[in-house]
Chain A
């Protein structure tokens, strides 16, 4: 129960959640809700591991995973952008589709054993900073370092660039964007695709870096749902999304670790060690939290207060008034 180790592992797990959260966040900022995160992640994890296994090239696996996540997301895009179907229903179906396809194609992969993994290394100088160094900059995956860069980049992109301005306009008031010549449909497809790629990347980060291997649907184990909850928790802000993701990663790790020792802090008799039901209860907590956030976040008034994109979940039809 070394706090540094727990936080170090928390950052690693948080990386996975973060990619998925950022993906969902950028999709939702364009006004489309995609509840298929879990499916896209699992497909990404399977594709990455499968390709790395057969070709020996982890980077190729990563690319294919992102592409697979994006393509799956485009399916959702066609259903909800083109045919204006209910986004919740389509998103849930996408989870089942992604999970099903991954399980079928991934059959046998669990025996694959070792594959080429993505590198982990120390960052010179930064890793020497006390406390923060060993947690954030020592022996982390290259993808974790990438995620550090991605967060401010996405924030800047959304808030300080021209395409980001258009992204926000399309998510807040598509009719206004349309009247000024922005192609609302193209924009939404683009960000649905990018969101799907990031979810695929999240899956690849799992199976190639953070907890290597293919464990069928236990690979993601509900992390996608936590990501969806975190988007609301983060109020659609990438910086908050990063804080939330790393916090949840650490919590998850803590919940696993706290069940290990017979004695806590050298004196306390560890109840979680002796009572397995208490342990299950602990493991359930992040998901319970996610459900609570989703329920709260689904209330119209609360969404307004949290700053949800005003057109989130509403199909755009030219000529209909208001948003």
Chain B
């Protein structure tokens, strides 16, 4: 075997963090010119492994070879010098600086004076070679997320890396942008670059990767299997450690009366900038209505306005017959709203309180838990016990503080509390984010059960696939405005609207 067969070889990597064995004897190898997917759930150890490869962490045990040479990295700079670069999930770009300036940070050349025009030319040439279009003079804050990602890739290509690690690169992109990214990755692989593609999305991995390595809880469950010789079910099994069904039962049913009406809502975000600019929508009993948008286009603010956590500057929110805007969370709750918030640990639960306390956080005000001025602890505990069994919450005891729970279990605590209140309206924001494949299915099934029980559900999610599978209708938000409404779950149309094309414009284009 020629030693240059592997661009990168990692052997027996062990990395411990206080209380966690993040990487347990992991082997990983990358061939020159291939796209190699690193698949695993959140917390499986993918990022840790790649942070070791890029010099951010040092391994406790094990070694790395690059093109057959043993290497020791002390910093990301060492890794880049060895030709290994990473595009982080959270972009490492300075918003106030131009594309060119961002690319030049940390380089030895230019020596002192920046001479930007000269380097803008060089970057232009690189853009042409790899088909990565972006204006070198533009400031980062002016660019779309997709363009920013291109800057990150350019940054690494400019440094002459031969191995490019992409950490969950599709998480922030609209469908069209994902297609563009995949094209770019294929061009780069054809030019001889080796690419590690970190993901937890099975479909994407099967589409883009040549080979796949799967991690589960810090261990390798499959090393470099060929993408052409595997399938979704097998990968899910390797990733989760048990069979996953991928079957959801969604019954045909007619929507009932209107439960939630939003009329021309305007609201500001935390930075006092307009987040919602005239949003109108409605949700009826017995239907799931999805809201699709790229992160930061007003969907979080929308959920907060409905649930009484954010003031709106204009417009009306009606739950049933009650106006709830600019009142309080309690008014929304009393009107029949339940909230599965985006931020589970700070908004959705009180981390230091017990499972019981978190479960009764809505029902404590009413009999039988409320008893005069006090809380009837024995009733509270009985209810908590039965909810724990009903919703499959896995905890040592119901007295355990919820901060010790895993993401999936914490989400079940929140769902148990919200659903047991028998809400007429449910606002679910990113309900499956960060959960493992099995837990995702459970949460989705609970939402469908609620739909069948006649609840009106507003589902805000950045997982397009999930939206399309669960929703009866989907609104698309872009920069705080509704771009259009989709009934048939046409991903292509949704994607175009997510990047700012109005529905009317799409249909006129189609006519031409």
Contact = CB atoms under 8 A, between A and B. Distances in A.
Interface in B257-288: 271-272
B18 interface: no
B96 A177 contact: no
B114 A310 contact: no
A168 B86 CA distance: 22
Nearest to B88: A179
Given A169-B105, A176-B105, A161 B97 contact: no
Contact of A173 (B86, B94, B112, B271): B94
A319 B93 CA distance: 15
Interface string B58-97: 0000000000000000011100100000101010111111
Interface string B98-126: 00011011110011111000000000000
B77 A319 contact: no
A321 B90 contact: yes
Nearest to A321: B90
Interface in A157-188: 160-166, 168-169, 172-173, 175-182
B271 A166 contact: no
B244 interface: no
B56 interface: yes
A175 B92 contact: yes
A301 interface: yes
Contacts of B92: 173, 175-176, 179-180
A301 B271 contact: yes
A304 interface: yes
A175 B441 CA distance: 35
Nearest to A175: B92
Interface in A309-323: 310, 318-319, 321-322
B113 A160 contact: yes
A172 B90 CA distance: 15
A322 B105 contact: no
Interface string A280-323: 00000000000000000000110010010010000000110110
B112 to A, nearest CB: 5
Give the one of A164, A176, A322 with max B CB within 10 A.
Answer: A176
Given A160-B113, A162-B112, A181 B90 contact: no
Contacts of A178: 76
Interface of A: 160-166, 168-169, 172-173, 175-182, 300-301, 304, 307, 310, 318-319, 321-322
Interface of B: 56, 75-77, 80, 86, 88, 90, 92-97, 101-102, 104-107, 110-114, 155, 271-272
The 9 closest A-B pairs by CB, nearest first: A181-B77, A180-B106, A176-B92, A179-B92, A173-B94, A172-B94, A181-B106, A180-B105, A301-B272
